[in-house]
Chains A and B, each alone.
Chain A
């Protein structure tokens, strides 16, 4: 009994110190000068631009992750080919490498001094210190989520249902939409939730390529940092509270989905 109480107490205390109190502090700080200051900080032109850019990056990175994830999971689960395990390892690379390195790689490739720099200058497309670079960085750090959900799921489910559908005369497209997608839809959704959370919250990789141009290349996490460095704590925490909200929403959606999938089987 004693041990049980101790263990539970320790866990709760740890979570309290490292999670609940900081989260509460964010909200307390955000509302320190009242709701008026809070909403003013969110309606600031630069804040709105940062929110817009974050949503744009997410709106591009998530579909990219879904398309890549389904294709990669299909290839890995359904076919045998040389280098398969290497491919699966590489899918995990964005998790293993520091996001700062990912950002630096983009600068090395697309920067003025980079490998593709002359091409960039000639074509007039700016990648680094511009929106395309931010989008690329976001895609890099968030693309594995759907693939990592789907690979084990599709390996476990096998492809007998697809074979059955083919024998019943279904075309490849019909098999994909009527059999495969319904089989993996919860896996895709789960991946999308995690991928969105990561895409919206990413700081390191984006920070390297962004250049922090206010109102232009600032995402929500970068905007929070700038406000904080300017000692504008109320605004910084107000915008940060959006990220907290996203995190809580992600957790809620994740739990709801897990509950739904468990109750379906």
Chain B
């Protein structure tokens, strides 16, 4: 099921949450809406679900597979929705939570109890919680609750799956496990999925495509590689990871130079014109790369990430005077601010 969002705007009082946003999600894709809080990503998701209505406009529309749903109630859209804080029915067992969407169907289309039971057990196997069917939500961990919420959303065989910061309330370790699990699950059941997150690592890891949003507008759409390596603008570059900002004069003009920490190198002798003298202020060797913090002569803070073997070879210490030089890949931007 493909999703098409056309010219959607939404204001809350004087606050413009979405400003004429259009978006297309292909059948079977997993697309992330990524942005800081207040960027409009959750509002957009809730408009797709039918929980919010867009500002009235002739041009605006929400379309599933060519069917215009703009005026259809959330009840009838057949959307699977997972909330950040799970929103499980606290007075129902895990089993009844998952069965809810089937039990509330009108008599004519409601499956028999046996069919419901088989379906719920199948979903419990999918989320690996078969033996917790009779538990209540308050007796589950956060990660387990979120898996139940996902199973509940999948029980109605939704046309599309919408996830609102699904792992936002979980701790880092559980979050990582669930991310990979979601990715595997998505390749098994291939339901068109839109995920809202403010966590760039999460978006980069699970998505087929990422939509970067800011101030109610889409800044860039593309694969994780595209948005990470070819950011369309300064905001995207900054939001998708740490960057070092340098002011440089290129051909007589003032330019901003943005470089990721792993695109910088540390050398002990001035190897080229672009090498900048700096002093090491902190070394953190915990992690997959060694993070070296430096201060340039101009007083700017610089962060460089170098591999462990390189770090051992250079024998760096806090206080050392070294040079920071960019590797071949670097990103320039016109300095439109000045």
Contact = CB atoms under 8 A, between A and B. Distances in A.
A179 B103 CA distance: 13
Contact of B75 (A160, A166, A182, A183): A166
Given A167-B75, A170-B75, A179-B89, A160 B83 contact: yes
Given A179-B89, A265-B138, A167 B81 contact: yes
Contact of A166 (B74, B89, B91): B74
Contact of B81 (A161, A164, A171, A178): A164
A160 B85 contact: yes
A161 B90 contact: yes
Contacts, number: 66
Contacts of B83: 160, 163-164
A8 B129 CA distance: 51
B32 to A, nearest CB: 20
A170 B100 CA distance: 9
A115 B79 CA distance: 56
B251 interface: no
Contacts of B76: 169
Given A170-B100, A170-B104, A183 B91 contact: yes
A179 B92 CA distance: 9
A167 B51 CA distance: 8
Given A182-B91, A183-B90, A165 B104 contact: yes
Contact of A167 (B49, B89, B90, B92): B49
Interface in A223-265: 265
Nearest to A157: B90
Contact of A171 (B88, B89, B104, B152): B104
Interface in A102-151: none
A155 interface: no
A167 to B, nearest CB: 5
B74 A167 contact: yes
Task: Classify the secondary structure of A's interface with B.
Answer: helix
B87 interface: yes
B169 to A, nearest CB: 12
A121 B83 CA distance: 60
B156 interface: yes
Given A163-B51, A265-B138, A168 B91 contact: no
A233 to B, nearest CB: 50
Interface in A146-194: 160-161, 163-171, 174, 178-179, 182-183
A178 B79 contact: no
Nearest to A164: B87
Nearest to B77: A167
A178 B97 CA distance: 11
B105 interface: yes
Given A167-B49, A171-B75, A161 B100 contact: no
B144 to A, nearest CB: 17
Nearest to A160: B87
B248 to A, nearest CB: 50
A156 to B, nearest CB: 13
Contacts of A182: 89, 91-92
Nearest to B82: A164
Contact of A168 (B51, B101, B138): B101
A222 B149 CA distance: 56
B138 A174 contact: no
Nearest to A264: B138
Contacts of B80: 167
A183 to B, nearest CB: 7
Interface string B17-29: 0000000000000
Contacts of B105: 169
A165 B103 CA distance: 11
Give 6 nearest A-B pairs by CB, closest first: A168-B101, A160-B87, A170-B104, A182-B91, A164-B87, A167-B81
Given A163-B51, A168-B153, 7 more contacts: A160-B87, A164-B87, A165-B89, A168-B104, A169-B105, A170-B101, A171-B75
18 contacts: A160-B83, A160-B85, A161-B87, A163-B51, A163-B83, A163-B87, A164-B83, A164-B152, A165-B104, A166-B73, A167-B49, A167-B74, A167-B75, A167-B77, A169-B156, A178-B104, A182-B89, A183-B90
